[in-house]
């Protein structure tokens, strides 16, 4: 089927800001492309669908020095959605976007996780191809967050704020461990996980990991820095030998609650756990039962982060470091999600397969 519609145009609507470089690249894909940048037009709809917690967390306020955002009247905005063949989106999107885009054939989201769409009518939507930027985001920045959190607890830096508040040092309370020479387990050795493994290995750690697919067959190289990659059935075994654990896997039915009572019990006393995946991969009730024997827990995510604040105990526990899903932040933002979109747009126009298509059965 040709990408262009009967009127000879392919309507591409971006719900995220697009710089001049990428506007030019998108429009240059084919003469049929008509791009509308509608970033910020549907913020009120997002707030209504997702609630104030998510809207306040993810809808960035415009700088005071920026020109006022010109938002067309509702009828014109709805006409843009109604005519959209392709949508480029970030997070969050209107929960009823599919219903408002009857012509929609393909949506690409700049985030990596398809689970962002679980609350939307795009989840498993018939007739719509959805692609994500899996493995193409700020994976290096996220990996640096993991390493920083490991070192934060390894060097006992979590003690410093309490001492500052008390106005008294207790140098004998510190029991730092050397990161070099310890074993790191990467749960989910994909794009993010591989960067985590590479950085940890560069600091002298032994790195092992798991992933859904089978381990590399004989003769195939392991990702840089990894000593071993195994299937998920060996996770408890690998955790038992690991002082540091990074959770980097996709949220799927198989990984929901993956770090639970059994896997937490397999981790040694004093181990440090970091999660940069989704909060739902960790059973927080089980974690509460184990947190006092762990060396530290670093969370960039938590269960239900799009609906409500974290539980009080996560915010207040002295061995928990929690941040608001900012591990991917950087002064050098990845442009790879836009590169993928342009490449996929060319494939869409040409009728060839797209990269990073979501498999709804797998959940990513």
pTM above 0.85, yes or no: yes
Q: Measured at the alpha carbon of residue 25, what is the angle toward residues 23 and 27, in degrees to the nearest 5? A: 70
Give the pLDDT confidence score for residue 1 in this predicted structure.
41
97-106, 108-117, 211-220, 322-331: least confidently modelled range: 211-220
Give the pLDDT confidence score for residue 7 in this predicted structure.
65
285 pLDDT band (50/70/90 cuts)?
Answer: very high
Identify the CA nearest to 177 among candidates 202, 142, 149, 151. 151
* Rounded average pLDDT over 196-201: 98
CATH code for the structural domain at 10-136+334-350: 3.40.50.720
What distance in Å separates the CA atoms of residue 49 and residue 55, rounded to the nearest whole number? 9
Q: Measured at the alpha carbon of residue 132, what is the angle toward residues 131 and 138, in degrees to the nearest 5? A: 160
172-186 pLDDT tens trace: 999 999 999 999 999
Q: Could you tell me how far CA 282 lies from the centroid of its own chain?
A: 15
State which H helix or E strand residue 315 sits in.
helix 312-316
What distance in Å separates the CA atoms of residue 88 and residue 26, rounded to the nearest whole number? 11
Residue that has been written with the tokens 């990408």 in this structure: 3
137-147 pLDDT tens trace: 899 999 999 99
* Rounded average pLDDT over 302-315: 96
Task: Flag whether pLDDT at 2 surpasses 70.
Answer: no
6-22 pLDDT tens trace: 568 999 999 999 999 99
Q: Could you tell me how far CA 220 lies from the centroid of its own chain?
A: 28
Give the 3-state secondary structure of residue 62: coil
CA atoms within 13 A on the CB side of 17: 6
CATH topology of domain 139-322: Rossmann fold (3.40.50)
State which H helix or E strand residue 146 sits in.
helix 139-154
Identify the CA nearest to 348 among candidates 170, 129, 135. 129
Give the pLDDT confidence score for residue 96 in this predicted structure.
97
Give the pLDDT confidence score for residue 288 in this predicted structure.
98
Give the pLDDT confidence score for residue 262 in this predicted structure.
96
Give the 3-state secondary structure of residue 113: coil
Give 67 or 352, the one with higher predicted confidence: 352
Mean pLDDT of the chain: 94
Task: Flag whether pLDDT at 127 surpasses 70.
Answer: yes
222-231 pLDDT tens trace: 999 999 999 9
Give 216 or 82, the one with higher predicted confidence: 82
* Rounded average pLDDT over 68-85: 95
Extents of the domains making up the chain: 10-136+334-350, 139-322
The first and second tokens of residue 221, run together, are 């190289």
31-57 pLDDT tens trace: 999 999 999 999 999 999 999 999 999
Q: Which pairing describes strands 244-247 and 272-275: parallel, antiparallel, or unpaired?
A: parallel
149-160 pLDDT tens trace: 999 999 999 999
Give the 3-state secondary structure of residue 272: strand
Query: With DSSP H G I counted as helix, E B as strand and the rest as coil, what are the percentages for the chain, rounded to 5?
Result: 35, 15, 50
Dihedral, CA of residue 363, residue 261, residue 284 and residue 114, to nearest 10 = -10
Task: Flag whether pLDDT at 198 surpasses 90.
Answer: yes
* Rounded average pLDDT over 334-347: 95
CA distances from residue 275 to 47, 121, 251, 299, 322 in whole angstroms, order as listed: 27, 28, 12, 5, 10
């Amino acid at each position: 089927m040709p990408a262009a519609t009967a009127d000879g145009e392919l309507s591409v609507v971006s719900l995220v800001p697009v710089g001049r470089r990428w506007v030019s690249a998108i429009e240059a894909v084919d003469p049929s492309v008509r791009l509308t940048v509608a970033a910020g037009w549907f913020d009120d709809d997002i707030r209504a669908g997702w609630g104030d917690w998510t809207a306040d967390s993810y809808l960035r306020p415009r700088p005071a020095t920026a020109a006022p955002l010109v938002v067309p009247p509702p009828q014109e905005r709805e006409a843009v959605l109604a005519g959209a063949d392709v949508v480029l989106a970030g997070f969050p999107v209107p929960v009823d976007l599919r219903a408002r885009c009857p012509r929609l054939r393909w949506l690409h989201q700049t985030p990596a996780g398809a689970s962002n769409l679980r609350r939307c009518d795009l989840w498993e939507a018939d007739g719509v191809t959805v692609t994500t930027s899996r493995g193409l985001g700020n994976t290096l920045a996220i990996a640096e967050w993991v390493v920083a959190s490991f070192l934060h607890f390894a060097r006992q830096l979590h003690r410093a704020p309490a001492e500052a508040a008390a106005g008294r040092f207790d140098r004998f309370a510190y029991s730092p461990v050397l990161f070099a020479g310890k074993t790191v387990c990467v749960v989910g050795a994909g794009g993010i996980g591989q960067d985590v493994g590479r950085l940890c290995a560069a600091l002298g750690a032994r790195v092992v990991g798991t992933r859904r697919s089978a381990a590399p067959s004989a003769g195939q190289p392991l990702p840089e820095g990894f000593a071993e990659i195994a299937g998920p059935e060996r996770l408890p075994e690998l955790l038992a030998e690991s002082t540091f654990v990074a959770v980097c896997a996709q949220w799927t039915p198989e990984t929901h609650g993956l770090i639970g009572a059994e896997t937490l019990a397999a981790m040694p006393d004093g181990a440090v756990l970091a999660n940069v995946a989704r909060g739902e991969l960790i059973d927080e009730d089980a974690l509460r039962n184990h947190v006092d024997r762990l060396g530290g827990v670093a969370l960039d995510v938590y269960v239900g982060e799009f609906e409500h604040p974290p539980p009080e105990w996560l915010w207040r526990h002295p061995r928990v470091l929690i941040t608001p899903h900012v591990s991917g932040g950087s002064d050098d933002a990845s442009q790879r999600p836009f590169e993928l979109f342009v490449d996929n747009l060319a494939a869409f126009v040409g009728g060839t397969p797209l990269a990073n298509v979501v498999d709804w059965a797998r959940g990513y």
